[in-house]
């Protein structure tokens, strides 16, 4: 029998559905059909009634699971988040200004969206405005990644001309790329929806953080409240909040904190804001200056020392360990339907928590995990983070050692 409880929906197996259908058909025909697996009752029920009912029950079970907050996925989850007043963070392009130098002969005339350049690593960007440059002159134009996502490139990395254009001598980026964003994964979206659902009050720190995280381009936020009568250790004045934000635009962040368009998630009247960034805001005839801080990403180097079991450790085991660790750092790791929380802003980095993603890969025994803010880590000790720091990791920072 199918039933629904607090854990979701449970349905019988196809074999159980077939057995029940055979029994009922036997009762209907007063036992005149053979009961063995090759008899007509089994063939009729198994090939028609049993399979059809099993498919319907499986589809219903899937739909019920999709509506459970801790299991929801895809469009079901997107709609469920809207019940909490938030939207899934969609993907966004990475952006960068590109400096173009013209040759001494010829005037480059290039339409927006037609000039493709890139890094030696293969990440491509497109200039998004029309280009007109005098001979031997240099000018700077806006560009974005060809694909949406969080692409990174240091100053001077974009020098490759994918599709040469008449009169163009060279290209480069004088500043680092501003990373975009991949579409918010299901595990990350479930985690953020839950934080929003737990928030209380329009001006509670959890609501302020939720409103900031719902802004386009924001990937993380941290809100510290100094409700005391003296300055906090980080310099936050008494009766003030300090918001630390990763991503987003200055004006959108300030408008959210001020409540320019909505009171939900705004800083309550009479409460000051603190930070190195200052933005002028106004609403309903009131003007103010909002202060906040931009978060800093701290790369974490990881060495995984492990003993591998021949015949059980996958041939691509090292790559899998790295990928699961990266999923963990990005908040995308799920184990048996449970989202494994990543290191949040200001949270101490513990090597012990990295064992969880590394142990997803079978056939090995971890001897030690070393972590550090710099290359060649040799310590298993925790790494403290300031409130404006966030631990991040990339594949190139992870080394898997062992035999």
Q: Could you count the other beta carbons within 10 Å of the beta carbon of residue 11?
A: 20
pLDDT at 252 > cutoff 80: yes
Label residue 312 by pLDDT band (50, 70, 90).
Answer: very high
Q: How many CB atoms lie within 10 A of CB 176?
A: 13
Distance CA 152, CA 145 (A): 10
Which candidate, 93, 69, 294, places its Cα nearest to that of 189? 69
pLDDT at 107: 72
Q: How far is the CA of 161 from the CAs of 93, 95, 133, 165, in angstroms?
A: 19, 17, 17, 9
Helix (H) or strand (E) holding 58: helix 51-66
How does residue 245 score in pLDDT terms, banded at 50, 70 and 90? very high
Which one of 24-38, 215-229, 331-345, 387-401 scores highest in mean pLDDT? Answer: 387-401
pLDDT tens digits for 44-56? 655 555 566 666 6
52 contact partners, CB below 8 Å, separation of at least 6: none
Six-digit token string for 77: 């989850």
Give how far Cα 298 sits from Cα of 38, 232, 295, 343, Å.
66, 23, 10, 11
* The pLDDT of residue 104: 87
Q: How far apart are CA 130 and CA 115, in angstroms?
A: 9
> In sequence order, which residues have a C-beta less than 8 Å from that of residue 21 and are 6 or more positions away?
45, 49, 50, 53
Query: pLDDT tens across 352-381, in order?
Result: 999 999 999 999 999 999 999 999 999 999
| pLDDT for 262 beyond 80 | no
Residue 77's pLDDT band, with cuts at 50, 70 and 90, is confident
pLDDT at 91: 85
pLDDT recorded at residue 326: 95
pLDDT digits (tens, 9 = 90+) for 123-136: 999 999 998 888 88
Q: What pLDDT score was predicted for residue 26?
A: 67
Q: What is the pLDDT of residue 208?
A: 86
Instruction: Give residue 192's pLDDT band: very low, low, confident or very high (50, 70, 90).
Output: confident
Of the candidate ranges 23-37, 174-188, 290-304, 387-401, the one whose mean pLDDT is the lowest: 23-37
């Amino acid at each position: 029998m199918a039933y629904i409880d607090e854990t979701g929906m449970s349905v019988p197996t196809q074999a159980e559905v077939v057995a029940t259908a055979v029994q009922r058909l036997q009762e209907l025909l007063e036992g005149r059909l053979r009961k063995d697996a090759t008899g007509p009752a089994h063939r009729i029920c198994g090939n028609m009634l049993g399979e059809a009912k099993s498919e319907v029950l499986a589809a219903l079970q899937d739909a019920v699971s999709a509506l459970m907050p801790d299991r929801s996925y895809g469009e079901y989850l997107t709609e469920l988040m809207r019940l909490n007043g938030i939207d899934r963070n969609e993907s966004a392009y990475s952006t960068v200004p590109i400096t173009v130098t013209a040759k001494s002969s010829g005037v480059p005339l290039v339409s927006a969206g037609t000039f493709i350049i890139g890094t030696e690593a293969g990440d491509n960007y497109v200039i998004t405005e029309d280009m007109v440059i005098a001979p031997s002159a240099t000018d700077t134009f806006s560009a974005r990644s060809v694909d949406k996502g969080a692409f990174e490139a240091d100053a001077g990395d974009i020098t490759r001309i994918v599709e040469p254009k008449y009169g163009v001598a060279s290209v480069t980026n004088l500043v680092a790329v501003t990373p975009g964003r991949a579409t918010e994964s299901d595990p990350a979206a479930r985690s953020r929806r839950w934080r929003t659902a737990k928030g209380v009050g329009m001006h509670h720190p959890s609501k302020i953080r939720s409103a900031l995280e719902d802004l386009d381009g924001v990937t993380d936020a941290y809100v510290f409240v100094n409700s005391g009568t003296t300055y906090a250790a980080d310099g936050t004045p008494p009766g003030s909040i300090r918001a630390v934000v990763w991503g987003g635009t200055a004006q959108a962040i300030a408008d959210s904190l001020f409540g320019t368009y909505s009171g939900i998630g705004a800083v309550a009247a009479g409460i000051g804001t603190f930070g190195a960034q200052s933005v002028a805001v106004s609403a309903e005839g009131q003007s103010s200056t909002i202060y906040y801080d931009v978060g800093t990403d701290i790369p974490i180097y990881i060495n995984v020392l492990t003993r591998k079991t021949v015949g059980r450790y996958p041939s691509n085991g090292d790559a899998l360990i790295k990928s699961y660790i990266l999923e963990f750092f990005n908040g995308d790791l799920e184990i048996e339907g449970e989202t494994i929380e990543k290191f949040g802003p200001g949270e101490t980095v513990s090597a012990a928590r990295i064992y969880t993603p590394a142990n997803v890969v079978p056939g090995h025994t971890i001897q030690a995990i070393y972590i550090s803010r710099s290359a060649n880590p040799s310590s298993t000790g925790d790494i403290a983070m300031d409130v404006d720091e966030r631990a991040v990791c990339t594949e190139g920072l992870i080394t898997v050692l062992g035999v």
